[in-house]
Structure 1
Amino acid sequence: MTTTAAKPITLHHVVWPTEGDHDQPPNLPGFTASPFGPIIAHVADRCLSGHWGEPPAPSERGGRTGMVMVSRLGDMATEAAVTGSVDAGTKASPLLFYQSVPSAVLGVVSARWGLGGPVICISPAGDPLAEGLELAELLIEDGSASDVLVVLVELATRDGESDRAEALLVGAPAARREEGTA
């Protein structure tokens, strides 16, 4: 992407798990059978609280904060739970239908923090971080958002691996903020 605009700055960045974290994120009501949604909510909350303190976000920022969720494989655990129910001929939990939409958990985060910007989910073929940040940059450049929370999450695919996630809150450079163009 070729652009003359300044790149967004990172306002806060967190990764999960870190030393001392539990194997699973805190429980998230309404989400079951998969750590995918709870992990996203957990890293999003950590990132946003690291920058803004307790929810909600300041109204002048939150209303223009977008979210980009990035995952190459998505919520494989929910998919496996639904497939397992179908294969066994049993009725799947209605919650699995709700949480099978990747943006459902972003709605929970948005409501908790008072975020009003665009919400986008992508499954990139290339570098997840680079593609997520590029999309965030586009949202800021075109005026759709002032800040963007980029959340990357991947569930473990092999024994011995851990689920992992990170969240970055990015925003327009300070000069653009002062001009009121972001």
Structure 2
Amino acid sequence: MTTAANPTTPGSRPLTVLARSFWSAADAPRPPDLPGFTASPFAPIIAHVADLCLTECHGPPPVPEERAMETATVLVSQLGDMATEAAVVGSVDHGTKASPLLFYQSVPSAVLGVVSSRWNLGGPVICISPAGDSLEEGMDLARLLIDDGSAEDVLLVLVELASREDLVDRAEALLVSGEGS
């Protein structure tokens, strides 16, 4: 466990990092497809890194009931699911009907719903697209959720698909808590 404080927020409680996982296309194969999601690695990557993180802390699903109902899930992505968006644009450009599975606006919250269901999480589900530092803004939101009593723990998932050839798909998940602070 590590403690992470935001020095820019006076009086804020430090958060304890209970578990942390990383995934990068440079280091590991693409996670398996996730039923109900298509045309993009975005949702499978999110589910994979979330599962790794939650397993590190709690073992196999579900999260123990006394923790599960107070665990929020937060997805942070500056660009979102660009691969599904590209598939929709391709469909429109070719004059074909887009599959309902390609409604890329709903992918972030839908995949968090899959993770929440699998792990029996009952806290708030939030997706943000920050203009600034993704980790800092995600931690600020996690701290807010914990400080205002909306959650005791927050599963924070940061994901970005490669937007240029010199980048790779990558994701990180942190399970943070206000306990011990």
**Alignment TM-score > 0.5, same fold:** yes
Q: 2:101 aligns with which of 83, 89, 95?
A: 95
The structural deviation recorded for 1:145 is: 0.1
Matched, 1:49 2:65: no
The aligned amino acid for 1:17 is: S
Runs of 4+ in 1 over 4 A off after TM superposition: none
The aligned amino acid for 2:163 is: T
Q: Quick one: structure 1 residues 18 and 82, their matched pair in 2 at CA, closer, same or farther if it must change by over 3 Å? A: closer
Give me the whole-angstrom Cα distance separating, in 1, the residues matched to 2:27 and 2:139: 28
Matched, 1:165 2:171: yes
Q: Specify the alignment match of 1:8 in structure 2.
A: 15
Give me the whole-angstrom Cα distance separating, in 1, the residues matched to 2:159 and 2:72: 17
Give me the whole-angstrom Cα distance separating, in 2, the residues matched to 1:170 and 1:95: 31
The aligned amino acid for 2:77 is: S
Percent identity at matched positions?
Answer: 64
Give me the whole-angstrom Cα distance separating, in 2, the residues matched to 1:5 and 1:152: 22
Assess if the C-alpha contact under 8 Å between 1:13 and 1:167 holds in 2. yes
Assess if the C-alpha contact under 8 Å between 2:71 and 2:155 holds in 1. yes
Assess if the C-alpha contact under 8 Å between 1:6 and 1:173 holds in 2. no
Assess if the C-alpha contact under 8 Å between 1:8 and 1:170 holds in 2. yes
Assess if the C-alpha contact under 8 Å between 2:152 and 2:179 holds in 1. no
Matched, 1:105 2:96: no
Q: Deviations over 1:96-144 (max 9, x none)?
A: 12x5312110000000000010111111111100000010001001100
SS in structure 2 at match of 1:100: helix
Task: Give the aligned CA root-mean-square deviation in angstroms.
Answer: 1.5
Matched, 1:28 2:34: yes
The structural deviation recorded for 1:161 is: 2.3
Unaligned runs of at least 5 residues, structure 2: 1-7
The structural deviation recorded for 1:174 is: 2.1
Normalising to structure 1: TM-score of the pair?
Answer: 0.90
Give me the whole-angstrom Cα distance separating, in 2, the residues matched to 1:47 and 1:17: 14
Q: How many residues align structurally?
A: 173
SS in structure 1 at match of 2:150: coil
Give me the whole-angstrom Cα distance separating, in 2, the residues matched to 1:157 and 1:69: 18
SS in structure 2 at match of 1:138: helix
Q: Specify the alignment match of 2:3 in structure 1.
A: none
The structural deviation recorded for 1:160 is: 4.0
Unaligned runs of at least 5 residues, structure 1: 176-182
Give me the whole-angstrom Cα distance separating, in 2, the residues matched to 1:133 and 1:159: 29
Q: Deviations over 1:16-68 (max 9, x none)?
A: 0287521x111111110001111100000000011000000000001100011
Give me the whole-angstrom Cα distance separating, in 2, the residues matched to 1:124 and 1:20: 26
